[in-house]
Amino acid sequence: MKERAAKLSELEAGRKRGAPVKPAVAPPAPSQFAAVMDVESGGLGRTQGARMRRGLGDSLSNLPKLPTPDYKAMRSQNACGNVFVLSLIAFYTSQVYLCGEEGKDIYAALIYSEAVIAIICLLGLALGDPGVVKRSRETCFPLPNAISEALLAGKDLSSIRSNVRGDDGRTFCVRCFVWRPDNAGEVHHCSICQRCVTHFDHHCGVFGRCICGRGFGGNMGYFKVLISMFFCAFCTWVAFLLFLMETAIFDHADPPV
């Protein structure tokens, strides 16, 4: 307290004598201080983070637009798959519907059930999410230094063709601008769908969708069940034909003497 009172009296005496008083220097802002300290230490991460906060920020709207999928190829592939599946459904269901034999009810119930399940799986493949890595603050930030510097400088990012590997082992997709999870199996960027998907298996040229998932996850369950319905419907149809043959043979058999 005595030291403070002495400083105040010294300042008061200076004002009376007309001596200029030195203004107090404000401490630097935390972000500026971190950036300066990082430059002096030779690092780049904190400086880049400060530049990102000042320039790009953590807003998803500052990122480039997602690449446009090849909708023409996807629609044509999906149309072919739909026509193929619906044609098979129409063929199998018409066989039991037009038949007037008694005792066909069990085969009709099986065929109709398999047709309904196939249509549900077809809708699941067309409308379901295969496992796309969506943009969010958690999946997009922090941006790699090379990417953030290119964005701040307004450079064309098409020249950056290889993905960036982070210190934690994850890779950053330079087309989707997302960090790929390292615990989601094979993460692949589809050249037709133009999205990164987890647990990638293949891009189906029949249904126009990426088939992804582990076990029955993603849309893999729809794909597996749909394929199994093909075999089930075929087996049911063969059993139905055998039933018709047996019925015809029994009806045309000679009556006992």
Residue with tokens 């953030």: 148
177-194 residues labelled b (16+ CB within 10 A) or e (exposed):
bbbbeeebbebbbbebbb
Given a contact cutoff of 8 angstroms between Cβ atoms, the answer to whether 174 and 166 are in contact is no
Please, which pLDDT band fits residue 99 given cuts at 50, 70 and 90?
Answer: confident
Mean pLDDT (the chain) is 81
Given a contact cutoff of 8 angstroms between Cβ atoms, the answer to whether 221 and 214 are in contact is no
The rounded distance, in Å, linking the Cα atoms of 195 and 175 is 8
Tokens of 143: 């941006």
Q: Is 166 exposed, middle or buried (0-12, 13-18, 19+ CB in 10 A)?
A: middle
The rounded distance, in Å, linking the Cα atoms of 96 and 226 is 21
pLDDT score, position 14: 56
Q: Which of 28-32, 33-37, 185-189, 215-219 has the lowest mean pLDDT?
A: 33-37
The rounded distance, in Å, linking the Cα atoms of 125 and 211 is 8
**Per-residue pLDDT tens for 12-63?**
665 555 555 454 444 444 443 333 333 333 333 444 444 444 556 678 888 9
